[in-house]
């Protein structure tokens, strides 16, 4: 009798697991998009197009581990520009985008899994520039360069500022050095990393005006089952120390 009960219990658990998996359509796959946003996600060869294992970075490694643990299939590609990837994820079911900064304005536009990582928003000045500002309101008198449709740029616009937006954040490094912009609004440590790639060091942090969390943003039509399984997988990876270890390995 006890043996029969145990067999029934095991069968029930297996059936339950199969039922949970069956909540997703057969062959279900998430189309994951990302961009060069080092050290969080980047092409191994530094180009603006890459697929699967040719993409690395803190967020890329964590997202891969999340999907593997959650048992959800995916494809991963790195493309350009961010503005196009953002709009694709807004419009196409089962698309996902990372590393996406979570903001109150964006919250209703996507379904979210995270946080995957943290970053800060800063205004940077060229080496030797002694600009001093105490707030974004004070910074409004200067020409500020930013990255089109990035959360930093969107925030500046929401505060009444008019940033000069570039399609690639790297372009702001040279614009800053040439005096085409006075300040560069970007994410830390991304800005310093991009400047280093351009052979530039010694940029001055004029103002640190926000702390941000980076997430995986999923199209609103993504099944809740997918969101729940991915969030559970991320929470487990964080509790096991994987997220901290991966972050430390890149910074």
Question: Encoding tokens for residue 121?
Answer: 């928003």
Percent of the chain with pLDDT over 70: 91
The reply to whether the predicted model has a pTM over 0.85 is: no
Return mean pLDDT, the chain.
Answer: 90
Give dist(CA 51, CA 4) in Å, integer.
Answer: 50
Region for residue 117 given its phi and psi (left: phi exceeds 0; alpha: psi -120 to 50; beta: otherwise): beta
Q: Could you give the dihedral angle defined by the CA atoms of residues 36, 231, 236 and 15, in that order, rounded to the nearest 10 degrees?
A: -130
Does 9 score more than 60 pLDDT?
A: no
155-202 residue pLDDT tens: 999 999 999 999 999 999 999 999 999 999 999 988 988 898 899 999
End-to-end CA distance of the chain: give it in Å, rounded: 58
Instruction: Give the integer Cα–Cα distance in Å for 107 and 105.
Output: 6
For the stretch 97-143, pLDDT in tens is 999 999 999 999 999 999 999 999 999 999 999 899 999 999 999 99
Is the pLDDT at 225 greater than 60, yes or no? Answer: yes
> Sorting pLDDT into bands at 50, 70 and 90, what band is 73?
very high
Q: How many CA atoms lie within 13 A of 133 on its CB side?
A: 24
pLDDT in tens, 19-49: 445 489 899 999 999 999 889 999 999 899 9
DSSP states of 10-27: HHHHHHHHHHHHHTSPTT
Q: Is 205 left (phi over 0), alpha (psi -120 to 50) or beta?
A: beta
pLDDT at residue 16, as a whole number: 43
Q: What order of strands is seen across the sheet that includes strand 183-188?
A: 50-51, 73-78, 29-34, 95-101, 204-218, 111-125, 183-188, 144-147, 164-166
């Amino acid at each position: 009798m006890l043996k029969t009960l145990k067999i029934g219990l095991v069968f029930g658990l297996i059936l339950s697991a199969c039922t949970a998996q069956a909540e997703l359509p057969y062959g279900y796959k998430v189309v994951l998009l990302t961009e060069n946003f080092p050290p969080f996600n980047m092409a191994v060869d530094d180009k603006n197009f890459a697929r699967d294992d040719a993409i690395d970075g803190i967020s890329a490694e964590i997202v891969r581990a999340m999907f593997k643990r959650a048992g959800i299939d995916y494809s991963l590609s790195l493309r350009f520009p961010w503005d196009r990837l953002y709009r694709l994820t807004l419009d196409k079911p089962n698309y996902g985008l990372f590393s996406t900064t979570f903001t109150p304005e964006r919250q209703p536009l996507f379904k979210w899994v995270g946080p995957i990582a943290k970053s800060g928003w800063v205004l940077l000045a060229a080496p030797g520039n002694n600009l001093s500002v105490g707030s974004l309101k004070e910074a409004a008198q200067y020409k500020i360069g930013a990255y089109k449709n990035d959360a930093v740029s969107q925030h500046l616009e929401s505060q009444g500022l008019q940033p000069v937006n570039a399609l690639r954040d790297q372009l702001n490094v040279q614009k800053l050095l040439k005096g085409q912009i006075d300040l560069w609004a970007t994410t830390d440590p991304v800005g310093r990393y991009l400047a280093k790639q351009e052979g530039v060091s010694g940029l001055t942090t004029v103002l640190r005006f926000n702390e941000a969390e980076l997430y995986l943003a999923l199209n609103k039509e993504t099944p809740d089952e997918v969101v729940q399984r991915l969030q559970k997988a991320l929470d487990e990876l964080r509790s096991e120390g994987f997220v901290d270890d991966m972050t430390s390995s890149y910074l």
